[in-house]
């Protein structure tokens, strides 16, 4: 409903697109950061249990982080693109 109201009041399609992308990417980056910290902590914990020096492969962690952020970007962009093209009257009637 919020999207329909914004479009009915004159919001540009790119403004709606960026609003949805910003909200989705904020959650994606927060979840990725928490997951990355957890992965590093578990790596050190596993190394301590096996009595060997911890191995934190920066290449693997950065690659997986980049992949997850790209997947999150695509997952936000596809519905945002569709929502930015919605007719405001159709969106308002649906609610």
Residue-wise pLDDT tens digits, 5-54: 777 788 788 888 898 899 999 999 999 999 999 999 998 888 888 888 87
Q: In the block, which residue shows the tokens 């980056």?
A: 29
State the Cα–Cα distance between residues 83 and 31, nearest whole angstrom.
24
Residue-wise pLDDT tens digits, 73-85: 999 999 888 877 7
Looking from the CA of 58 toward its CB, the CA atoms found within 13 Å total 0
User: 58-84 and 13-49 helices cross at what angle (nearest 10)?
Assistant: 160
* Alpha helices, DSSP H, located in 1-95: 2-8, 13-49, 58-84, 88-94
pTM of the model: 0.76
């Amino acid at each position: 409903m919020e999207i329909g109201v914004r479009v009915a009041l004159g919001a540009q399609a790119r403004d709606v697109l960026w609003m949805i992308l910003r909200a989705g990417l904020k959650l994606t980056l927060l979840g990725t950061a928490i997951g990355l910290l957890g992965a590093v902590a578990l790596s050190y914990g596993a190394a301590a249990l096996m009595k060997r020096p911890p191995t934190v492969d920066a290449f693997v962690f950065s690659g997986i982080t980049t992949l997850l952020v790209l997947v999150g970007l695509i997952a936000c962009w596809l519905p945002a693109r569709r929502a930015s093209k919605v007719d405001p009257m159709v969106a308002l009637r649906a609610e």
